Amino acid sequence: MLNAEIIAIGSEMLTPFRVDTNSLWLTERLNSMGIDVKLKTIVGDDEARLEETIRDAMKRSEIVISTGGLGPTEDDITRKIFARVLKRRLILDDDILEKLKARFAKRGIVMSENNSRQALVLERAEVLPNPNGTAPGILIEEGKCIIAIMPGPPREMKPMFDASVAPVLKQRVGDVLILRRKLNIFGLGESAVDELAAPVYTKYRNPSTTILFKDGQIELHLTAQVKTETEGTRLLDELSGQLEEALGDYVYSRHDETLEQVAGELLRWRGYSLATAESCTGGLLAGRVTEVAGSSEYFLEGVVTYSNEAKMRMLGVPTAMLEEHGAVSEPVACAMATGVRKLAGATFGIGVTGIAGPGGGSEEKPVGLVYIALADEDNVTARKFIFPGDRQFIRILSVNAALDLLRRRIK
């Protein structure tokens, strides 16, 4: 197995404020090619330490990947130090410079002088295009070592790795295949999942299984290390089939789709449409539904009725109901769902009302109390939840629960 080492460059990751997440993503990609990550270093704009880190990495590892430090400012020392260690000159690439200028011009901005620094490349290196930003990457083969130098912003680094670095590494690695599968689970806690899943997955050493807890959801990661795709697929099918049987319909995806993608796919497939009425989630539910490209096919409209007045006027929630039960109540959730469904002329209406906190809770209606209602033409039902956590977490959990109710209803 080839060994890789990741160097994250940037003083901001040596502050208490920022964590290096690029390396997690890179590790996943490298592992899936059968490459082991043996060490990660995070280093700031300290020339001596970066130089030593690069030298050590090249001695120890067959693959060295750096992210960050390619920006236009004085702090961005990556190019300079790699040039020093590799004893190669930095050359201004006219082609890149032109593209940089054009990029700024297109947005109606005159390029500032320090940006031209980003057009410097190492001699005898391959320039990696960056369609999502200004700094191109650099790929170097030095002796047995492959070095990929990439920008720090994830939205620039990730596409660059996939398009320009991964193919080179794959060629070097040859024939080990790592296949992964991920089961997404909603509605059970971590230990409940483990109780159901452990009797199944402990029977297998290959594929291996890892459980992860994330934003109120559980992920099961299965990893198979095999010679052929057929063998890997067979193993993963076998294990994931048994896990899905053990976990039932708590499993909502085995293709790494989000809840909003799964629910959206179901809506689209059946030709159904959706409208949302939100109070405590304040637009986040509509925001998540419309995260999916093409969601305009089934998402008609949403309203955020924060005030009682808006609930009455836009959704026809009766004044008497608000007075008798309060805005956070099952009848009001139901009235919101039916109201928005009718307003939009949609197949389904969802109503969410609750207390996200930190204020506004009481003995009878605590922070975390949320009612979620789902209405169709004939019917409306609501569920009551009491979610843990802070304002932000309660809002995320509410959105997840609403999407899950919709998914289960259509399925």
384 DSSP β-pair partners: 371
Contact predicate 353/280, CB 8 Å: yes
369 DSSP β-pair partners: 386
Q: Restricting to residues 56-115, name those near a copy of itself by CB under 8 A.
A: 56, 60, 71-75, 106-107, 109, 112, 114-115
Residue from 78, 253, 276, 398 touching a copy of itself (CB under 8 A): that is 276
Residue from 295, 329, 347, 353 touching a copy of itself (CB under 8 A): that is 295
Contact predicate 224/179, CB 8 Å: yes
Reading across the β-sheet that carries 177-185, which strands appear in turn?
Answer: 208-214, 217-226, 177-185, 251-253
Helix (H) or strand (E) holding 240: helix 229-247
Residue from 52, 142, 244, 330 touching a copy of itself (CB under 8 A): that is 52
Q: Is the CB of 83 or the CB of 286 nearer to a copy of itself?
A: 286
Shortest Cβ 124–a copy of itself spacing (Å): 28
Backbone angles phi, psi at 15, to 5 degrees: -95, 170
6 DSSP β-pair partners: 40, 65
> What is the rounded distance in angstroms from the CA atom of residue 70 to the CA atom of residue 355?
45
The per-residue DSSP string of 168-224 comes to HHHHHH-S-EEEEEEEEE-SS-HHHHHHHHHHHHTT-SSSEEEEEEETTEEEEEEEE
Cis peptide before 358 (omega within 30 of 0): yes
Residue 312 sits in the site that holds a copy of itself (CB under 8 A):
no
Residue from 143, 230, 271, 296 touching a copy of itself (CB under 8 A): that is 296
Q: Restricting to residues 343-362, name those near a copy of itself by CB under 8 A.
A: 343-344, 357-359
Q: Is the CB of 115 or the CB of 338 nearer to a copy of itself?
A: 115
> What is the rounded distance in angstroms from the CA atom of residue 371 to the CA atom of residue 210?
33
Q: Restricting to residues 225-264, name those near a copy of itself by CB under 8 A.
A: none
Q: Restricting to residues 127-156, name those near a copy of itself by CB under 8 A.
A: 132, 153, 155
Structure tokens at 122: 């190492």
Shortest Cβ 175–a copy of itself spacing (Å): 22
Contact predicate 392/212, CB 8 Å: no
Q: Is the CB of 249 or the CB of 291 nearer to a copy of itself?
A: 291
Helix (H) or strand (E) holding 351: strand 348-354
Residue 286 sits in the site that holds a copy of itself (CB under 8 A):
yes
Q: Is the CB of 11 or the CB of 381 nearer to a copy of itself?
A: 11
Residue 47 sits in the site that holds a copy of itself (CB under 8 A):
no
Residue from 51, 194, 244, 376 touching a copy of itself (CB under 8 A): that is 194
Shortest Cβ 220–a copy of itself spacing (Å): 11
> What is the rounded distance in angstroms from the CA atom of residue 74 to the CA atom of residue 119?
14
Residue from 98, 238, 249, 390 touching a copy of itself (CB under 8 A): that is 390
Contact predicate 214/247, CB 8 Å: no
Residue 160 sits in the site that holds a copy of itself (CB under 8 A):
no
Q: Restricting to residues 196-225, name those near a copy of itself by CB under 8 A.
A: 198, 210-213, 221
**Inter-residue long-range contacts of 99-104, CB under 8 Å, 24+ positions, other chains counted:** 100/134, 103/134
Binding segment for a copy of itself among 37-45, 88-96, 234-242, 371-379 (CB under 8 A)?
37-45
Binding segment for a copy of itself among 120-128, 224-232, 242-250, 280-288 (CB under 8 A)?
280-288
Q: Is the CB of 31 or the CB of 242 nearer to a copy of itself?
A: 31
Shortest Cβ 132–a copy of itself spacing (Å): 7
Residue 281 sits in the site that holds a copy of itself (CB under 8 A):
yes
> What is the rounded distance in angstroms from the CA atom of residue 229 to the CA atom of residue 207?
13
Binding segment for a copy of itself among 21-29, 160-168, 241-249, 400-408 (CB under 8 A)?
21-29
> What is the rounded distance in angstroms from the CA atom of residue 69 to the CA atom of residue 83?
13
Binding segment for a copy of itself among 33-41, 241-249, 264-272, 403-411 (CB under 8 A)?
33-41
Nearest by Cα to 329 from 285, 373, 377: 373
